[in-house]
Chains A and B, each alone.
Chain A
């Protein structure tokens, strides 16, 4: 018990003293997660939206594939992308392996299905009459789609936040494609695993606290957005 409380106290002190190494790890984690979430959202939100509002043959198959991809293990993605980015891989000439960009590529593959599936679910719940109302009031198809997207905005934001939470907490991709290089690709989760292996718990606990805090802040922000606009509903 002493060990835990001592580690916790030292971790809090580390956070309070603005430890350079720790905060750089946090920065790398946030930066990589931000860009992977941004890219996945740019593709995943329109994809989920289009699947939800269109009727086409093969829709069920596509939804089944996306649902299956939700359960894709991070190590499988890591291995798959590694096969492309390693020197012997098709994209080896890009020299991307063990860079933050490589982590972003893997994480985009991880969360794109999440964003698409949860966006699809949010849009599917929106009453068809929103689209018809917009159309009968003279909207073009694009404007009618924007009306639907606006009504589904809380679900879409929730999908993006869930995706961010998924990537910031994942370790397999960051380890396999980033290589846990200090000051370059070391993320919170890879650093925690390393510190645990070394038997050094202070940094690991400090990073754990930051990780939980990030998750808490994200959820508070979401609740505030939902509260602010939700009141207007």
Chain B
């Protein structure tokens, strides 16, 4: 069953289009991650999905019905979808009263409310904090209480805006465990924004990538600012003093933001000359960091600009590349997405 269906949705703030989605469908009882660089429209999309801000244009269907953005119908929709903010705000009262708030808004009687709030706090491991003042909690505890507050409402959909971005490792693990737990209840759909590829891989069944407000393929990690210039034979984007990348997209000359998809970046050891893909232009660089991410190896390479790419473990072993090695880097011009700005 389709949970959300977005068609031609645009959000414009002060004349700037921050979200522009042609079509996007999200299924019920699934988990989705929203990935993309800062300013890619993740939070804007979450606010629209939470019915907090109407889009400037476009149609949104929720559970098969077109969303009516008139205030009197919106609060009924909001009772099915709860958004947990990146930096949740606590009302200046006790933890338990914070968790009870949504239930109070739904007219749940006091005793039942208290029991439900305590159960929600139990799920996030903060039952003992019930009578504490919410403003005195640490960042991680606040995030967990915010999740309990949303859980207590028993929504159909839970939205999270970078739930682990501002918490320590311990709380990060606890929060991920709670989200895993929510996912296991097949009834609740989970949509969360994150910068963390591993977190997305662990928690989401499906991943949505955004860049400059548009739904794109995987990527969004190598986001850089540059200047487009047109040569007789090709267009190039100048990044920093020494790096020029060929761009296939047709854009007027001037400042741009580009995203280079990691899979469009190939790294060769300095000695390797055969099988060079994409282009004859090879950039010289140095491997700064290699990390294991699931079955893949993530490489941080400096070619005058920082780039991240991903190899399979076999590829990494076969190439013999080590941290600190000088390497040659080829970049597929089709893997570069550019937007003006």
Contact = CB atoms under 8 A, between A and B. Distances in A.
On whether the two chains bind one another, the answer is yes
B20 to A, nearest CB: 23
Interface residues of B, number: 26
Contacts of B93: 232
Given A135-B78, A136-B78, A136-B83, A141 B71 contact: yes
Given A129-B85, A129-B89, A133-B89, A138 B133 contact: no
B204 interface: no
Contacts of B81: 136
Given A134-B101, A143-B105, A232-B133, A151 B50 contact: no
Contacts of B149: 137
A125 interface: no
Contact of B85 (A133, A141, A232, A233): A133
Interface in A76-118: none
Interface of B: 50, 52, 71, 75, 78-79, 81-83, 85, 87-89, 91-94, 101-102, 105-106, 133, 135, 149-150, 153
Contact of A137 (B71, B87, B94, B101): B101
A66 interface: no
Interface of A: 127, 129-130, 132-141, 143, 147, 150-151, 229, 232-233
Most A CB contacts (10 A, CB to CB) among B78, B89, B102 go to B89
A137 B133 contact: no
5 contacts: A129-B85, A132-B83, A134-B101, A232-B135, A233-B135
Nearest 7 CB-CB pairings of A with B: A137-B102, A138-B79, A138-B105, A129-B89, A136-B83, A233-B135, A139-B105
Contacts of A133: 85, 88-89, 91
Nearest to A141: B71
Contacts of B78: 135-138
A127 B89 contact: yes
Contacts of B105: 134, 137-140, 143
B165 to A, nearest CB: 15
Contacts of A229: 92
A233 to B, nearest CB: 5
A143 B93 CA distance: 16
Contacts, number: 64
A150 B106 CA distance: 20
A151 B92 CA distance: 7
Contacts of B71: 141
A132 B133 contact: no
B135 A138 contact: no
Contacts of A140: 75, 105
Contacts of A150: 91-92
Contacts of A139: 75, 101, 105
Nearest to B81: A136
Nearest to B106: A138
A150 B101 CA distance: 14
A30 B149 CA distance: 45
Contacts of B102: 137-138
Nearest to B159: A136
Contacts of A127: 89
Contact of B92 (A129, A136, A137, A232): A232
Contacts of B153: 137-138
B81 to A, nearest CB: 8
B201 to A, nearest CB: 27
Nearest to A147: B91
